[in-house]
Chains A and B, each alone.
Chain A
Amino acid sequence: MRKCSLDSINKIFGKIAETNKLYLPVDGSDGVAVYTKWEEGKEWSNALNTVRSPKDFFFPQVENLMEFKTSGKNIELTDIREEAEDFVIFGVRACDVRSFDILDRVFLTDPVDSFYASRREHGVIVSVACSKPSETCFCQTFDNIDATNPLGDVTAWKTEDSVYFKANTEKGEAFMKKIESLTEECDDTAVAAEKDKIAAIMKKLPLKDLSADAFGGGKTDTFFNVPEWDELSATCLGCGTCTFVCPTCQCYDIKDFNTGNGVIRYRCWDSCMYSEFTKMAHGNNRLSQKERFRQRFMHKLVYYPENNEGIFGCVGCGRCLAKCPISMNIVKVMKKIGGKVNE
């Protein structure tokens, strides 16, 4: 374990930025933290989290896949893939770190999404423990997310005056090497204290008792037709806010854009809340907002764990709790249809 003083953290950023693009949460003009490319003068935000999750760096909202041109009956394809450069995402919270595991299971299983895979290969994730979790946090509901000791290539702890680093992977070791001269070796006393402090707060969180035990693979029939869906979805506006701020939502649509000089085939995020989602030749397969609403939560709580060894498709980051225009969210859904709160 190594540490540096909080005051000198910008030196570390400078060092990393020499060789890699470095992204970290920076307060925007409206005071809200946004993952921003670090450059001299940008300060690491004290905010707990960003509105948009770090998923964007591996699975951007819009991504061009290829270009093609037709002339007469000929078609000419161009691979426009840009080889991803090495980059570092700094300050990722435990919940968001877990989201990469969830995304990996989708994008890195056969057939591998080579665009995503390439970015994962080139990206180093530096996580940071949550010293001040919010009332909307409920990562404890899901197994193996530890806000006191997040995963990632490197784990960091930020205390009053210092930042502590610990490498978890080979990429992490390389990262540590790079900042070696700016950090000093230390023991884990301070980190242990910080962990205890966080653990104490976690026990006070209002959603600490939320349990996902009622959900999981094989529960489709249990929940699919419960009458509560009507009530829960009654005032859903059908916007895509929850899906677009969600670190684990991974649906996209592939579209063609005719530039006049050829066609760009690109993909962009899609939302199961949208009426046009997965529209097929026969029309839409989920016609009502209730069905679309149900799909999203069933996917997170039942379908995904069913296909992925019981791992839930939610990480408890709380973004949807904060951002849904009508304050409807997965917690309300779990409580309503999941029966009892964990005692």
Chain B
Amino acid sequence: MQRVGVFVCWCGSNIAGTVDVAAVAEALKNEPGVVFSTDYQYMCSQAGQDIIKNAIAEHNLTGIVVCSCSPRMHEATFRKTAAAAGLNPYMVEIANIREQCSWVHKDMTTGTEKAIILGKAAVAKVNLNTPLTPGESPVTKRALVIGGGIAGIQTALDIADAGFPVDIVETKPTIGGKMAQLDKTFPTLDCAACILTPKMVDVAQNEKIRIFSYSEVEEVGGFVGNFDVKIKKKARYVKEDICTGCGACVDKCPMKKNPNEFNLGMDNRPAIYIPFAQAVPKVATIDPNACNMLKNGKCGLCARVCAAGAIDYTQKDEIIEEKYGAIVVATGFNPISMEKFDEFAYNQSKDVITSLEFERLTNAAGPTAGHLERPSDGKSPKTIVFVQCVGSRCDACSEKGKEYCSKICCMYTAKHAMLTRDKYPDTDVYVFYIDVRTPGKNFDEFYRRAVEEFGVKYIKGMVGKVTPEGDKLKVQASDLLSNKQLHIDADLVVLAAAIEPDKSARPLATMLTASMDTNDFFTEAHPKLRPVESPTAGVFLSGACQGPKDIPETVSQAGAAASKVIGLLAKDKLTGNPCVAHSNELMCNGCSSCERVCPYGAITYEDKEFRMPNRTTKIRRVASVNPAVCQGCGACTVACPSGAMDLKGFANSQIIAEVDAICK
């Protein structure tokens, strides 16, 4: 029989407000096995934990039940507390009387009744708990970073700095990501290229870092410390190690009219191309959909002009298999499609553009060499309307936009408006805003400068519709503060499009078995306390794949993710989750049902000799579980007809005890 201690947490008034905690503690005193029961304001506080530790020593407890918040919140905390007091951490059970009780029920009687039942269920379970010891597995000391934007670059550099090898996988021909497309960065207005490209060079030159550009992750197997990853290196038809990036092929290529992705299709590039001057690796890539040689076997001009002989039309996709100890996801973001926003006439007029397009239009390396020209006729716009929150902050059921605030638009719009007024003072610049959100160091000052020093006209209100008429864009908008409807003849309309996670994130999440929210942003293991870890062990998050972020935030998160990876790779061995399946060999039939449902291949069979009646023996085939590979889902336990397979920590008997306690 266990000696169980029960600790009921008030969580201030979070629990105590709707649950009579003293009554819960009192009621649970009479449960079988319970020898001690108490309540306290904050069990998770040091003082609360001390109460638990003292009770364990004083009452010689063999198991504890904490009635508190969700186990997803503080189970780990209380397990540590128990361990510190010499109790096996798996002798702790949590009754979730906050999220699943006090917070959802308003009435004290109801809340208290339910809390008592949940407490009884936890006591019933802990009575059947057994001490568990985690198994150990080795760690492959190499990290994989998926995505080569600023997030991936920074993470890789930081990990490499600590001495661990890192591979970066980037789908584009070059690393650099969105930041490489930007002109200036807020709030300091330094040139994006000037601060990013040196980092890209660092990556290229770092001996610990390998870049797999133009590559994708194909398959992920294994588990924390021991991931097996297949990376597909797409054929670029140029030998990466030989190409010098001289650009002769790019100049000579006759197939020049292909939309230039780097400039968002606002100009063209040849079939063989280097995305931009500072690309890393600075290697040409042939677009197989545009190259006449690859499509029709005619041309071959680039091969002829290549002094290094780097062109290889026969190149094939290559699969690279590598083992990693940790994986960092840095797949970044994209602006959402403006297709559905008919009211802004994005599809009707070339002069309605997104902010990222505006960024390229003002970039010295962009399609207009940095001159602000209207895409339609190349004229200088005299009146520019910026529209904020296009597709951000929409209703949850909106088909057009996203529910969240995209976070970076307020600041880049202020930047665009300010820079326009700075370079072209005779331009009228209107910014329609709902709220201006500037929580960041020097952010609000930046926005105020745009208004006060640069004379940007900020109007509280929204654009209702944009109608192209002649060479003008008729903008109809509301000015809420003066309670007027405005009609502006604009030359250029710039839409601050919401941002969304890259489309590659969802399939990747499936491969990684990492969870995502409904917007396809990766979920953190804990929104506050573990913001750079995914709930899947060994998978870390860096940058906008986790949520909208600006550059400083991305870089700091990248560093944080790197430090978590370093912490993991620095270990020689990992202790696993001890809540794994195990087979009772005496009952096992060896029927293979469990093996067939195991997603991890954790179950193998062996022939074992068993003693039978009357000093005879029999050899039978029985299952055995590899605890390092088993993740503890329990699929096998139900597949097993004899009940030989059970799950530690969630045993049949434990769950049944909970059912019984709840259904009393």
A contact set with B: CB distance below 8 Å: 70-72, 258, 260-261, 287-288, 291
Contacts and interface: CB of A to CB of B under 8 A. Distances in A.
B663 interface: yes
Interface string B647-664: 000000000000011011
Given A287-B614, A288-B613, A288-B614, A258 B30 contact: no
A72 B34 CA distance: 9
Q: Closest 9 CB pairs between A and B?
A: A287-B613, A260-B664, A288-B613, A72-B30, A260-B660, A71-B30, A260-B663, A261-B664, A288-B614
B660 A258 contact: yes
A232 B344 CA distance: 91
Nearest to A259: B664
A4 to B, nearest CB: 54
A201 to B, nearest CB: 46
A258 B664 CA distance: 10
A71 B663 CA distance: 18
A334 B613 CA distance: 26
Contacts of B614: 287-288
Most chain A beta carbons < 10 A, residue from B30, B613, B663:
B613
Nearest to A72: B30
Nearest to B663: A260
14 contacts: A70-B32, A71-B30, A72-B30, A258-B660, A260-B660, A260-B661, A260-B663, A260-B664, A261-B664, A287-B613, A287-B614, A288-B613, A288-B614, A291-B613
Contacts of A261: 664
Contacts of B660: 258, 260
A260 B657 CA distance: 10
Contacts of B32: 70
A287 B613 CA distance: 6
Nearest to B29: A72
A258 B663 CA distance: 12
Interface residues of B, number: 8
Given A287-B613, A287-B614, 7 more contacts: A72-B30, A260-B660, A260-B661, A260-B663, A260-B664, A288-B614, A291-B613
A288 B663 CA distance: 40
Nearest to B613: A287
Interface in B127-148: none
B376 to A, nearest CB: 77
Most chain B beta carbons < 10 A, residue from A70, A260, A261:
A260
B143 to A, nearest CB: 52
B237 to A, nearest CB: 71
Contacts of A291: 613
Nearest to B664: A260
A287 B663 CA distance: 38
B113 to A, nearest CB: 15
A72 B32 CA distance: 7
Nearest to B32: A70
A70 B32 CA distance: 9
A115 B570 CA distance: 72
Nearest to A261: B664
A260 B658 CA distance: 11
A326 B609 CA distance: 30
Interface in B1-59: 30, 32
A67 B661 CA distance: 19
Interface in B187-244: none
B660 to A, nearest CB: 6
B120 to A, nearest CB: 10
A72 B661 CA distance: 16
Contacts of A70: 32
B586 to A, nearest CB: 12
A268 B114 CA distance: 36
A59 B485 CA distance: 93
A291 B661 CA distance: 41
Contacts of A260: 660-661, 663-664
